[in-house]
A and B are shown apart, each in its own frame.
Chain A
Amino acid sequence: MRALPQMVKIESRLFLRDSATVLFGVLFPTALLLGMGAVPALRESTPDTGGLRSIDIWAPTALVFGMVMIAVQHIPAVIATYRERGILRRLSTTPAPPGSILLAQMIVAFASVVASAALLIISAWAVLGIAPPERPLEFVAAFIVGYAALLGIGLVSAAVARTSSAATQIGTLLFVALMFFGGAFLPRVVMPDMLRAVGEFIPPGLQALTTAWSVEAGEITATNGGLPFWLQIAAMAGIAIVTTAIAAKLFRWE
């Protein structure tokens, strides 16, 4: 079983050499949040938001950006490339377990998402004075389960995309759709109720992340009659399981 640690080591290096992904997946979310934080209007607290600044409420969107980037853009593109170029095929002629390269990919990608989130949370705290997640356990749960749901969608894309360019195109569409509900174009706080309600079921689950980060912000972005926190997490877990099962069913090695 020396194969997996070696694969993780090499895949990590390959990840770090892929400067576009490091830039957009790991560094850009923090840059985006700090950039938004530099806008004076977003740093003013208003009475309608109970003293919270717009940036406090919007911060989880920057976090979602990195998660979506890695799960639906990066991973499917890498897997589709590995398939298209015969890298998976070549590996399958060695004694290494066939799934180990995918597992190594997931491990490296997850580490990068965690790094992206850690950088974002620390910078938000240090530079913008946004407090770290108030409910750390819930936050970790929302983050992991939400990421798993995103990853499931990414894996379906990786399973069906025949070429790396197809994977990239699917990834871009998914990115736009997911980031819409992730509040990148229209902050969740100003979304109509119906969109907010739908958004609770769209990975990675912005509402759950927002609530776990700041209870006050969560109350502002929540809908009347929205799902309780743990039901939102359960919905994400369900999406993760179903999409991963579909991906496993559809996955082709060649």
Chain B
Amino acid sequence: MDAIEVRNLHKRYGKHVAVDEVSFTVEEGEIFGIIGPNGAGKTTTVESIAGLRTPDSGSISVLGFNPVKDRAEVRERLGVQLQESSFPDAIKVSEALELYSSFYQNPADWRELMDLLGLTEKRHTRYKALSGGQKQRLSIALALVGTPKIAILDELTTGLDPQARRDTWSLIERVRDAGVTIILVTHFMDEAERLSDRIAVIDGGRVAAVDTPAGLIARSSASQQVRFRLRQPLDKSILTDLPDVTSVDMSDGRWTVTGNGQFLTSVAGALARAQVVAEDLRVDQRNLDDAFVALTGRAPDSSIPFERKVD
């Protein structure tokens, strides 16, 4: 059974259509990324899955349950880490965990979870006094304390410094390895690419594409480039005649070869046969940013600043 099935979801606020037509399925045990520009409808989509919003039309099934009608069943099985939600300033880490574990029928051992998330040292610290990364880890711990089958993590690493982000990523992979299906909403392309098994690109309230990160990248990038220097002279036609190569430029001994498909292999083979050595070789690696631009016609939003950890 699919963990989550969203069919023709539509949600508007007044005249503003937040989600126009969104359908996708999330398989059990995968990390499913949702990316898209700000205001694309990502958060409304996951809020509808969590039962916080009632769709205007369309259907959502979470492990076979309806988030609005089967409120209790869905909440018991779905852990949520939301954007713009927080905890009382004066609550201590251990208190928040103990409190949230009391809400569930089969809670995890919150002390173990606290340990797993590296919060044991901070158990007597009040929420207000935690660093951004610690708050985020607490928020993840609270999303997991009910031993959910599915966890929704919305903008997980926003505001974290690079090290804390990487730590959080490896934590998420461990959670997935423990069998929890994860929906990851993010505007960080590197995060989505690194963590997701599959990604839905949402744009303008619609699903622009659903694929593996590699699949999305391959779809979007018609051509790639490789650049290198050669000490020895080389007849340009050796490269231009190669299949999949679309253009070759040379100036000041610096070569730029553009192509698609398997052209990298053929370029490397041709250079070897010509017995020339490529130095300073660079392949401009296509990544999810390029795929994002190709699919949405916009650059991924990178305007959200990092909050530097102040110690």
Contact = CB atoms under 8 A, between A and B. Distances in A.
Q: Do A and B come from one complex?
A: yes
Interface of A: 2-3, 5-7, 10, 13-14, 17-18, 81-82, 85-87, 89-90, 92-96
A86 B52 CA distance: 12
Nearest to A96: B103
A95 B99 contact: no
Contacts of A92: 52
Contacts of B80: 90, 93
A19 to B, nearest CB: 10
Contacts of B82: 86, 89-90, 93
A6 B102 contact: yes
Interface string B46-60: 000011100000000
A90 B80 CA distance: 8
Interface stretch (B27-35, B88-96, B199-207): B88-96
B75 A82 contact: no
Nearest to B101: A6
Contact of A10 (B75, B95, B105, B142): B95
- Per CB-CB distance, the 10 closest pairs between chain A and chain B, nearest first, are A86-B85, A6-B102, A90-B85, A96-B103, A93-B80, A94-B103, A17-B90, A95-B75, A2-B102, A85-B86
Nearest to B75: A95
Contacts of A93: 50-52, 75, 78, 80, 82
Nearest to A78: B88
A93 B104 CA distance: 11
Contacts of B103: 3, 94-96
A87 B52 contact: no
B102 A3 contact: yes
Contacts of B87: 85, 87, 90
Interface of B: 50-52, 72, 75-76, 78, 80, 82, 84-88, 90-91, 95, 98-100, 102-105, 142, 146
B50 A87 contact: no
Contact of B99 (A10, A18, A86, A89): A10
Contact of B86 (A2, A3, A6, A87): A87
Given A3-B103, A6-B99, A95-B75, A90 B86 contact: yes
A17 B90 CA distance: 7
A94 B88 contact: no
A15 to B, nearest CB: 9
Given A5-B102, A93-B52, A95-B104, 6 more contacts: A13-B90, A13-B95, A90-B87, A95-B75, A95-B103, A95-B105
B130 to A, nearest CB: 14
Contacts of A2: 102
Contacts of A14: 88, 90-91
9 contacts: A3-B102, A10-B95, A14-B91, A18-B90, A86-B84, A86-B85, A93-B51, A94-B104, A95-B76
Nearest to A100: B103
Nearest to A15: B90
Contacts of B90: 13-14, 17-18
A93 B83 CA distance: 13
A86 to B, nearest CB: 3
A87 B85 CA distance: 6
A92 B76 CA distance: 12
Contacts of A18: 90
B135 to A, nearest CB: 12
A5 B103 CA distance: 11
Nearest to B76: A95
Nearest to B96: A10
Given A93-B52, A95-B76, A95-B104, A87 B88 contact: yes
Nearest to B95: A10
Contacts of A86: 82, 84-86
B240 to A, nearest CB: 59
Residue with the greatest number of chain A CB neighbours at <10 A, chosen from B91, B95, B103:
B103
Nearest to A16: B90
Nearest to A18: B90
A239 B58 CA distance: 44
A94 B146 contact: yes
A8 to B, nearest CB: 10
A90 B96 CA distance: 12
Contacts of B75: 93-95
Contact of A95 (B72, B88, B142): B72
B97 to A, nearest CB: 11
A5 B99 CA distance: 9
Nearest to A11: B88
Residue with the greatest number of chain B CB neighbours at <10 A, chosen from A3, A10, A17:
A10
Nearest to B90: A17
A89 B104 CA distance: 17
A92 B146 CA distance: 14
B41 to A, nearest CB: 18
Contacts of B102: 2-3, 5-7
A71 B78 CA distance: 36
Residue with the greatest number of chain B CB neighbours at <10 A, chosen from A2, A81, A94, A96:
A94
A7 B90 CA distance: 14
Contacts of B142: 90
A254 B233 CA distance: 69
